[in-house]
Structure 1
Amino acid sequence: MEFADLIKTPKVDEVLLQRPLEPKVVGTLCLTGHHLIFSSRQDNSEELWLLHRNVDVLEKRFIGTVGTLTLKCKDLRIIHFDIQGMEECLNVAASVEVLSTLNTSLMYPFFHRPMFEAIKEDWQLYNPSEEIKRLSSLGWRLSDINKDYSLCPTYPAVIMVPDTIEDDVLQKSAAFRQLGRFPVLSYCHHNGVALLRCGQPLIGTVMRRCKEDERLVNAALGTSGKRGYILDTRSPQVAQQAKTRGGGFEPDAHYPQWRRIHRSIERPQGLQESFMKLLEACNDTSAGVDRWLSRLDACNWLGHIKDVLTTACVAAQCLDREGTVVLVHGNEGTDSTLQVTALAQLILQPEGRGLRGFLTLLEREWLQAGHPFQERCARSAYSTKTRQQAPSFLLFLDCCHQLLLQFPCSFEFSEELLICLFEHSYASQFGTFLGSNEQERKQLKLQHKTVSLWSWINQPTVQPQYLNPLYEPNSHVIWPSVAPQSLHFWEGAFLRWCRSAEESERARDETRRLANKHSQLQARVWALREQLAELERNDPGP
């Protein structure tokens, strides 16, 4: 199949482009295999490139012979094109609808050839072979039992497990856990206690038992003799109902060394509905302050942030203050579980707050851990097809934004990086977020056929725009507040197309200017201290 066969009308003149807060522009609209390109007639001063993959919903409206195409995008933009002639308008609409839903192998990342030299090492920022050098003395080992992905299709080929557990025990435990996601190491704190993640146990209504799974879970406790915590991201009622579908939770009688804690986090479908209501409120330009606040409260997006951050803080407190092992799971262990384990590490681990450390965290806790990006990000908030779609990763990024607001000097990266990750997770010229697990990415040969987003971010000319000018390394644990007054609506992500870009850019420039001035003054203070110390050393005294 050729892309040209899918494009009924490749070029249309006299098209009117309309966007919020931007002047209307007349120009030429062109369609390529992967992009919709608009160029103005006024000395080409306006040019818009839009990935077809970025189109979430396309709506058509006709008044006489003039058709209006409204493109609602996955990055939350809304763009209007007024096209003369019904046939041309329908042809453009039909072409975009087909090109925006091409299968994976025909997506733009497989055709994109960047103007910079991509580094293959950026495809694997997290190397478990390097990590085990530090953890082998703490009772952990690498297992390649999943090297062909037959044991657990959503796990990576190499996983970290207790060194006292044989591979045959892992096989039995995988058969006992949802999707074969048996307990594996997520993070080991500086005090030696571990954070693990897995899928729910398949006990069902018959209270099925697996002694190998019990042995694996207890092995994570080591020889400390302390009890561990099982942090279930479902309410007790939801966890109980899961038994009727073959799932459930660990019975106290079979896991006596563990205490179960329930912290309810919204499931993917409910989260998607909340996201859709949030965008409806953001696009309601006629709403007054009271109505806007009422709609924001009704969608409960900030409530979901509070739930996730609270659960992550509970996990972090158990690890850091009580020195106890924590095992996190919900149903499948691919959404709320990853939100909690990743945020707990940001709270506890200073390295994760650096730019490279944060990207490494995403590599380990989201990409290698099997979050189904291909399903969750197939559609955004404007589509009504919500069966598998959910903004789980976006909610995590919003939680990171809350941490950044509360600890503005403790993160090396800025809000711009979080927005960049949000956009590329839904539509990108890079292959990083394609596929839903390591197995699928290897089958697609992404490392050889596409370029990693990390390679682009780490370019010397690009990286500065994602750095935080206020950053000062903080080696301590950060404890965020989850009080309602401490959580803020993320305007930079949800309203950036509804407010002036110039105003935001001026604010960023002023922040950078003040940060540079602060650095200069700080350098001057250190120079004066050195001069004073030198004078004191040379002064013989009375």
Structure 2
Amino acid sequence: MEFSEHIKTANVEDVVLRQPLHPPSRGTLCITGHHLLFSDREEGSSRQLLLLLRNIDAVEKSVENLLVYSGTITIKCKDMRVLHLDIPGMEQCLNIAHSIETLSCLDGVAAMYPFFYRPSDLSLQNQWGLSSTEKYYSQMKELHNRWRLSSVNRDYSVCPSYPPAVIIPQNTDDDMLKKVAKFRQGGRFPALCYYHRKNGMVILRSSQPLTGANRKRCREDEHLLQAVIDGSDKGYIIDTRSSQQAQQARMTGGGFESKSSYSHWKRLHRQMERGKALQESLIKLVEACGDESHNMDRWLSKLENSKWLSHVQTALSTAGLLAECVERDGHSVLVHGSEGTDSTLLISTLAQLIMDPCCRTLEGFLALLEREWVQAGHPFQQRCAHFAYSHARLQQESPVFLLMLDCVWQLWRQFPLALGFSEALLLRLATEAYASDYGTFLCNSHQERCALGVTENTHCLFQALLRPTERDYYSNPLYEPTELAIWPSVHPQSLQLWRGFFLRWTQQARQLEEAQEEIRNMVIELHEQVKMLSLNM
């Protein structure tokens, strides 16, 4: 179907745009297959708005201004902007609203803008991505004695959500892996995602075992986990469900690793909300941030009732527990919840940031996100289909990736010198996950991206962010590398609302951003002066 079939009115003159941090402006509104374009027609003005339609979460129509205009369209965006368009002519107003609603919700991945985006300074011939399981394995020479790279999933038949290559114990053959995959939900068998160079311990991730009510066993699964800790006294299993939730999962075919079958593994339960509960928490938080009553008690009550900062606290606390098991206690850890595609990836990512200085550089952090989220099967297409304004009934949406970025921001704020990237990078990633010019966050798995030709026909966001001009903007000028672990404080008074994201369209946030940019420029200028002095000495 052509985009033009959904556009009943392509251009409208004499439209008034009202948007945050700008005075109202009058001009021309245009709709294309992927964008909403507004051009200010006032003499000497060059103000424009170019909005990716995929960034629109909800469209509302009203006819309050009948004497002057025929209708007003309110557009609520996934980056938390709220725009108002006063459009002359009732028919034109309805046509525009209908076109926006339709084009912003098209399901076909191949029709999305990343397949059409062609910037002059990027080439489709470039290698796509920064990291892969194969590259990680080749860099970790210490792994090669006890671990091997398996291509058992090269055709995605063993696990649809895993990449083609996985890292597993040396003495576990591919036939055993196939049996283990049948014992784990979605085929997500235990696979290595992190090797700790300091002590040789590892982090593995998987989905829940399918023990069921009959306490079914899988000898191959037990053998694989025993091979992980061979020569060690024990390992830990961090289950991101409560003990009660894990017990209930057995009634529907899921379950957990029993003490009798996995005697050398100690199971720890740390309940983390996911799915609908997490999405509803975001909706309440966004509603609180949009409250214009300016009543402090009401604002604080809404913030607390959203429970968002409680989710941040739980995620950081659980990640700290994982890092403590590996870094301080010297034990390997398996992390899983039920499906292993959400909170599992969240905890693994944060733990690696806490422990590994390589993950704290700009390039290292982007490579970490690629391995742990893009390649490891986080279903971005489902989780980020809608933000917090949509009137659609909640289905698979859940802001797990946004929660991870919020936790990273808390680390960035507590350790301003330890991370090599800026808050601007986190804001950019939060926006791109929901609506992007790039193909990085398209689809739900590596298999889907390959089937749709994403890597051949779209550009990679992570590579674009490492271009010289972008790299400078997203780097932290105060960065001082440290080999030490960065242990976050999770006391309530240590955690703050991520104002840069949730209050980003307020005057106070804009002033803070301008101040940070001025400080950044001063630091960069100081560095340049020091460099010049050292050259002249």
TM range (shorter): over 0.9
- Tell me: CA distance 1:268–1:122, structure 2 relative to 1, closer, same or farther (3 Å): farther
- Aligned partner of 1:507 among 512, 515, 523: 515
Q: Shift in Å at residue 45 of structure 1?
A: 2.2
Structure 2: distance between partners of 1:395 and 1:364: 18
Counterpart in 2 of 1:125? 130
Q: Shift in Å at residue 132 of structure 1?
A: 2.4
Q: Shift in Å at residue 521 of structure 1?
A: 7.5
Q: CA contact under 8 A between 1:120 and 1:447: conserved in structure 2?
A: no
Q: Shift in Å at residue 21 of structure 1?
A: 3.0
Structure 2: distance between partners of 1:13 and 1:434: 35
Counterpart in 2 of 1:220? 228
Q: CA contact under 8 A between 2:150 and 2:167: conserved in structure 1?
A: yes
Counterpart in 2 of 1:426? 434
Please tell me whether residue 94 in structure 1 is matched to residue 95 in structure 2: no
Structure 2: distance between partners of 1:7 and 1:129: 45
- Tell me: CA distance 1:112–1:130, structure 2 relative to 1, closer, same or farther (3 Å): closer
Q: Shift in Å at residue 389 of structure 1?
A: 0.2
**What runs of 5+ residues in structure 2 fail to find an aligned partner?**
none
What is the aligned length?
A: 528
Q: CA contact under 8 A between 1:118 and 1:455: conserved in structure 2?
A: no
Counterpart in 2 of 1:46? 47
Question: How is 1:77-226 mapped onto 2 (pairs within 5 angstroms)?
Answer: 77-102=81-106, 103-118=108-123, 123-133=128-138, 134-190=141-197, 191-224=199-232, 226=233
Please tell me whether residue 317 in structure 1 is matched to residue 318 in structure 2: no
Counterpart in 1 of 2:423? 415
Aligned-partner SS, 1:137:
helix
- Tell me: CA distance 1:261–1:444, structure 2 relative to 1, closer, same or farther (3 Å): same
Structure 2: distance between partners of 1:524 and 1:5: 60
Aligned-partner SS, 1:261:
strand
Over 6 Å off, 4+ runs: 524-528
Counterpart in 1 of 2:347? 340
Aligned-partner SS, 2:302:
helix
Q: Shift in Å at residue 475 of structure 1?
A: 1.6
Q: Shift in Å at residue 20 of structure 1?
A: 2.7
- Give a deviation string over 1:153-193, Cα, whole Å, max 9, x none: 00000000000101111111100101110000010101111
- Aligned partner of 2:377 among 370, 379, 382: 370
Length-normalised TM-score, structure 2:
0.95
Q: Shift in Å at residue 238 of structure 1?
A: 1.0
Q: Shift in Å at residue 523 of structure 1?
A: 5.5
User: Which residue type is aligned with residue 11 of structure 1?
Assistant: N
Structure 2: distance between partners of 1:244 and 1:127: 37
Q: CA contact under 8 A between 2:134 and 2:165: conserved in structure 1?
A: no
- Give a deviation string over 1:483-530, Cα, whole Å, max 9, x none: 1111110000111112357513421233214423653686699789xx
Structure 2: distance between partners of 1:121 and 1:247: 43
User: Which residue type is aligned with residue 428 of structure 2?
Assistant: C
Counterpart in 2 of 1:297? 304
Counterpart in 2 of 1:536? none
- Give a deviation string over 1:322-375, Cα, whole Å, max 9, x none: 110100000100000000001000001001000110010001000110000000
RMSD value, Cα = 1.7
**What runs of 5+ residues in structure 1 fail to find an aligned partner?**
532-542
Q: CA contact under 8 A between 2:130 and 2:463: conserved in structure 1?
A: no
- Tell me: CA distance 1:25–1:175, structure 2 relative to 1, closer, same or farther (3 Å): same
Q: Computing the radius of gyration over CA atoms, which structure comes out larger, 1 or 2? A: 1
Q: CA contact under 8 A between 1:109 and 1:429: conserved in structure 2?
A: yes
Q: Shift in Å at residue 445 of structure 1?
A: 0.6
Q: Shift in Å at residue 127 of structure 1?
A: 3.3
Aligned-partner SS, 1:12:
strand
User: Which residue type is aligned with residue 503 of structure 1?
Assistant: Q
Counterpart in 2 of 1:5? 5
Aligned-partner SS, 2:168:
strand
Q: CA contact under 8 A between 1:132 and 1:140: conserved in structure 2?
A: no
Counterpart in 2 of 1:539? none
Structure 1: distance between partners of 2:285 and 2:143: 46
Q: CA contact under 8 A between 1:335 and 1:392: conserved in structure 2?
A: yes
- Tell me: CA distance 1:15–1:104, structure 2 relative to 1, closer, same or farther (3 Å): same
- Give a deviation string over 1:397-431, Cα, whole Å, max 9, x none: 00000000011011111000001001111001111
User: Which residue type is aligned with residue 305 of structure 2?
Assistant: A
Please tell me whether residue 476 in structure 1 is matched to residue 477 in structure 2: no
Q: CA contact under 8 A between 1:69 and 1:80: conserved in structure 2?
A: yes
Q: CA contact under 8 A between 2:236 and 2:332: conserved in structure 1?
A: yes
Q: CA contact under 8 A between 1:353 and 1:410: conserved in structure 2?
A: yes
Counterpart in 2 of 1:37? 37
- Aligned partner of 1:244 among 242, 245, 251: 251
User: Which residue type is aligned with residue 337 of structure 1?
Assistant: T
User: Which residue type is aligned with residue 386 of structure 1?
Assistant: L
- Give a deviation string over 1:182-216, Cα, whole Å, max 9, x none: 00001010111110000001111111111111111
Q: Shift in Å at residue 29 of structure 1?
A: 0.4
User: Which residue type is aligned with residue 114 of structure 2?
Assistant: P
Length-normalised TM-score, structure 1:
0.94
Q: CA contact under 8 A between 2:129 and 2:460: conserved in structure 1?
A: no
Structure 2: distance between partners of 1:177 and 1:365: 19
Aligned-partner SS, 2:266:
strand
Structure 2: distance between partners of 1:219 and 1:121: 39
- Give a deviation string over 1:117-147, Cα, whole Å, max 9, x none: 3375552311333332314434110111100
Aligned-partner SS, 2:316:
helix
Aligned-partner SS, 1:201:
coil
- Give a deviation string over 1:19-60, Cα, whole Å, max 9, x none: 233211111100111101001111342100011111111111
Aligned-partner SS, 1:28:
strand
Aligned-partner SS, 1:408:
coil
- Give a deviation string over 1:294-341, Cα, whole Å, max 9, x none: 111110101000000000000101101111010000010000000000
